[in-house]
Amino acid sequence: MREVVEAIKGNGKFFLATHLNPDGDAIGSAVGFGLALKSMGKQVTVYASDGVPAICRFLPGVDMVIDEAKEEDISGSTLILLDCNTLERAGLKGFTFKRSIVIDHHQTESPFGDVRWVEPREPATGSMVFRLLEDLGQEITPDIATNLYSAIAIDTGVFRYANTTADVLEMAALLVRAGADPVEITERLYNSWSPDRYRLFSLAQASLELHGPIAMSIVTLGMFQETGTTGEDTETFVNYPLVMDTVKVSVMLKEKEGDVWKVSLRSKGDIDISRVAVQFNGGGHRNASGCSFEGNIADVKQRLLNSLREIL
C-alpha cells in the first residue's frame, strides 16, 4: 500500500478504471475513490467501459463515470485499475498511460501495473480503498462512505459470504458513523426488483435441476420475452440455490442469443469454482466466477457438469 500512497501523493492527474460489466464493488470503489481524489485537489476521470448498471445509479457521485476513453483524459494521467488487473478487463486494450497502479482483491494473477497492490484476502476493493484513504489521512465524507459501504455490502453478500470478518464488520460500523445509511443502501441494492423481474425469478427457480451437489438453473430468451426483462435482471439469481444444505455449487446458464450462453458459477467454502471458469476462458474468485459458452444447451450442460464433477 505504501507505494500506492506515494504514487497518489506524487501525481496530479488520474484515470480510474474498473472492469467490464461492473458490479457494486467496481462502481462503489471507483466512485468512492474518485470523490476522495477530487477533494484532494486531483484531476480525476472515472471510467467504466460498460457504463453504470441500473442497480448502482443511486450512488452519490456516480454521474462522474464516463464510458468513453478520451485522449485528453488519458494524456499525462496515472491509470488506477480498481477491482481488475488488466487493460483488457477494463476495456482499455491498446491505450497507454504515463504510469499504472493496480488496486484489486482478485486472485487471478497478471503482471500488469507499475505499482501493484493485490490483496486476495480483502473482501472487496471497496475495503482496500477505505484502508488507503485512512492511510492518506483523507476524510471519509457521507458520499464516499455510501459508495464504500455499498461496495463492501455487495462483495460480502451483506456480511454473509466466507469473506466476512470482524474487521469488515468494524469497517462497516465506521462507514455508517461516517454517514452511510445501511438500510437505504441495502434497500437500493437488494429491494429494487421490478414485479417483472420477480416473475423471471419464479420461472428461473422452476427450471432448477439438482445433479447431486450441483444446482443448475436456466434462463432462456423465451423467459426474458415472457416477462419483459433483460439479462441484467438475473443479477444474484445464481446465489439462491446455495440455501440448500446439499448444494455445494450453483450454476446459472443465461441465453444471450441463439446457442450463446453466459454462465455464472457460485460455490461454497473451499470449492474453487474459478478453476472451472478458467478452463472455459472465464475467471473470477474462488466462490464466484463466470464464463461463456457456445453450443446447444444439452451439450453445454454436459460439458459444465463434467468439469464441475472433476473439482467436487
List interacting residues with a copy of itself (CB under 8 A). 158-162, 164-167, 169-170, 172-174, 176-177, 182-183, 186-187, 190-195, 197-198, 201-202, 205-206, 208, 210, 241-247, 268
* C-beta of 187 vs 294, nearer to a copy of itself: 187
Report CA dihedral (22, 257, 263, 93) to the nearest 10 degrees.
-40
CB of 182 to a copy of itself, least distance (A): 5
CB 30 → a copy of itself: shortest distance, Å?
Answer: 24
Give the C-alpha separation, 140 to 42, whole Å: 16
Pick the closer one to a copy of itself by CB: 138 or 164: 164
With contact defined as beta carbons under 8 Å apart, do 308 and 291 qualify?
Answer: no
Count of CB atoms within 10 A of residue 185's CB?
A: 25
Minimum Å gap between C-beta 142 and a copy of itself is 13
CB of 148 within 8 A of CB of 129? yes
Spatial separation of the C-alpha atoms in residues 224 and 240, rounded to whole Å = 19
Nearer to a copy of itself, 79 or 172 (CB): 172
Q: Is 242 helix (H, G, I), strand (E, B) or coil?
A: helix
Kind and range of the H or E run holding 25: helix 24-39
Q: CA-to-CA distance for 242 and 267, rounded, in angstroms?
A: 8
Nearest distance in Å: CB 90, a copy of itself: 31
Distance from C-alpha of 133 to C-alpha of 151, rounded to nearest angstrom: 15
Q: What's the closest the beta carbon of residue 25 comes to a copy of itself, in angstroms?
A: 17
> Shortest gap between Cβ of 106 and a copy of itself (angstroms)?
20
Name the strands in the sheet holding 209-211, side by side, starting at the edge strand that comes first in the sequence. Answer: 209-211, 214-219, 249-257, 260-267, 288-294, 283-284
| 183/298 with CB nearer a copy of itself | 183
